[in-house]
A and B are shown apart, each in its own frame.
Chain A
Amino acid sequence: MKRKIKSIALLLVLCIMFSFGANSYAASGTCEVFYFTYTGSVGAGGSAQIQTKLKSSGYTANRYANTNAYYVRRTMNSDVVFAIVSHGAAGRVICANGTQISAKSVASQDYNYSLAAWFGSNALSGTKFVYYGGCQTAQTSSTYGNLLSYTTSTLGAKCALGFYESVANNQATYFETQLFNYLASGNTVSYSASMASALTYSTYGSYGNVNTYKIYGTSGTTIK
């Protein structure tokens, strides 16, 4: 009888240890999501849903509005996932008060806050995924560089996604909502983007150019 009780107790302890162990494999770390509502900006887009999905994945996900580029950029290296929903152009994303984040440093511009001026090589090696949700953020500018390649090849983030063409806000909002919905389910960036793009076309009857997404780094990256 005593042996039986001991066996049951041991089994119980093993079960408890296993459940703790399983929980310890859930995602952890900090994510940041930025959006802008100042004059002329894009609005919240899918930023609220992005934050919700990151939280459901187990992350501490902070969402900020109308932030100066300096503070948007400031702790990217601490983020497991970074997302920005804003206007964009080749090599840059637009932040509050006309400030912008570019890949390359532009010494002549007061309002430019480049990744190159703030981060050293491989500074983002702990970052799994960076989402640049603005127009033409996958394009290369001779002045500002290429956000996606700089984020992955130079700064070492695992994966980054941006758009090659100008994207329509309604479709882009839907796309990023579905993108992070699928990422939160454990799917890869490439599969999630492919699903999000197809769903956008099926829903809206047009891509709004979200099909021009580009993925740099490891497209098989997952965020969980």
Chain B
Amino acid sequence: MSNSKIKKISFSFLLVIFTFGMFFAHDKSNASASSEALIENEEAAYTVIDELMEGTDSTNVEIIDASEFEELFDEKLIVLEDENYVYLFEEDSQDMKAIILEELPEEPLLDSIASESQAVQEVEDLVDTICSDYLTTDSYDVICNEIDDQESLTYTVELWEKISDDFYTGNKIAATVTEDGQLISFVTRDSESDQAIQELISGNSSFDVKVIESDAIAIAYDVLVDTVEQLELEEQLSAEECQPKTGDDVIVSDSGKIMDVTDVIEEYDIKLDKTETQTVETYRELNQGSVQWVITVTGVETNRDFGIEFTVVLDAQTGAIDSVNYTR
């Protein structure tokens, strides 16, 4: 082989090596850039937890695999864990997505709570610490529910971001806290309606509802008539579905009476037309860019000693039913 040929081959070989080298360096550079961003976000997450833990003993928090949580919450997350909680951060915004309780800490994260207003204040302070930018409009409504089960007092505080009175963006925050200041849970909800929110705030009239409130209530009651009819029907099970558990026992109830398992108690009757006992509440809410009416009917009597509540969600532009729900 001549010298010139050797030189040509060597040059070609070096050119190929150089090209591959540039490719991998560039790729590594991209990977390095995204890794840097991730590291930055992770450090930000640690900082938030440090602020959350301020005033308590330091905690051994570490990053864990986020894949399982990302699949369930359907977004990119950074997940950290200590001996008491799992902390889920949105990777892009670094806002806290959820705090999941594993074991109550010895030192509560919050101050003791003696009233609903105090519970609200504690939660609002918590939100300032861990996701202050989550709610983007200037106002929100606060819903606080207190449960006193004679053993403990628990408050669930929800912050509903709003556009105007009884019109919500669907972006929400919920936290459950105890009177001792223990944080039981924290979670945010994204209605995926950012563009619609901006357009509504700027006064875009394309979102003006075509179904007014009274019509929405009428549509809800219409669909509830069908719902109640279905609920009152005896659903016949096919042989392939689950069958009752039976036997040959002599059945004796608490009264001592020998019962026949085929005895049929009075059929279930939902008194939907007894509207004088019912309360109807409505509000509008964005969900995935669409405006919906949410209609709740409470105080519906039945012929049993417990009642039932219904919630109907329908599209405020078309009147189409999105969902019907009822209590157990």
Contact = CB atoms under 8 A, between A and B. Distances in A.
A39 B233 contact: yes
Interface string A94-110: 10111100100111111
Interface string A205-220: 1011001101000001
A90 B242 CA distance: 28
Nearest to A140: B150
Contacts of A64: 242-245
Contacts of A170: 323, 325
Contact of A167 (B189, B233, B306, B328): B328
Contacts of A133: 328
B203 interface: no
B149 interface: yes
A198 B270 CA distance: 32
B102 to A, nearest CB: 5
A134 B100 contact: no
A42 B326 CA distance: 9
Contacts of B235: 37-39, 43
A72 B245 contact: yes
A199 B156 CA distance: 16
A135 B306 contact: yes
Interface stretch (B37-45, B216-224, B257-265): B257-265
Interface string A76-114: 000000000011110000101111001001111111111
Majority secondary structure, A binding face:
mixed
Contacts of B257: 110
A112 B101 contact: no
B255 A164 contact: no
B: contact size bracket: 35 or more
A47 to B, nearest CB: 8
Given A40-B268, A89-B306, A191-B101, A166 B243 contact: no
B327 A205 contact: no
Nearest to B160: A205
Nearest to B263: A97
A109 B255 contact: yes
Interface string A29-50: 0001011011111110100000
B242 A63 contact: yes
B241 A65 contact: yes
A52 interface: no
Residue among B103, B170, B305, B328 with the most chain A CB within 10 A?
A: B328
A45 B256 CA distance: 33
A212 B247 contact: no
A169 B170 CA distance: 21
Contact of A97 (B156, B261, B287): B261
Contacts of B174: 201, 207, 211
A34 B245 CA distance: 9
Interface string B242-256: 111111010101111
Contact of A208 (B101, B265, B325): B325
Nearest to B256: A107
Contacts of A110: 253-255, 257, 259
B147 A212 contact: yes
B72 interface: yes
Given A40-B232, A89-B305, A168 B242 contact: no
Interface in A151-202: 164-172, 188, 190-191, 194-195, 197-199, 201-202
Contacts of A169: 325-328
Contacts of A38: 234-235, 268
Contacts of A41: 231, 268
A195 B98 CA distance: 9
Nearest to B270: A40
B268 A190 contact: no
A198 B186 CA distance: 7
Given A38-B235, A74-B249, 5 more contacts: A67-B246, A97-B264, A105-B254, A195-B100, A198-B187
29 contacts: A35-B242, A38-B268, A39-B268, A40-B270, A43-B235, A68-B244, A70-B251, A71-B246, A96-B244, A97-B262, A97-B263, A98-B304, A108-B255, A110-B255, A110-B257, A113-B253, A164-B147, A167-B328, A168-B311, A169-B328, A170-B323, A171-B325, A190-B102, A194-B102, A202-B98, A207-B156, A211-B156, A211-B174, A212-B156
**Which A-B residue pairs are the 5 nearest by beta carbons?**
A40-B268, A98-B265, A37-B235, A198-B187, A64-B245
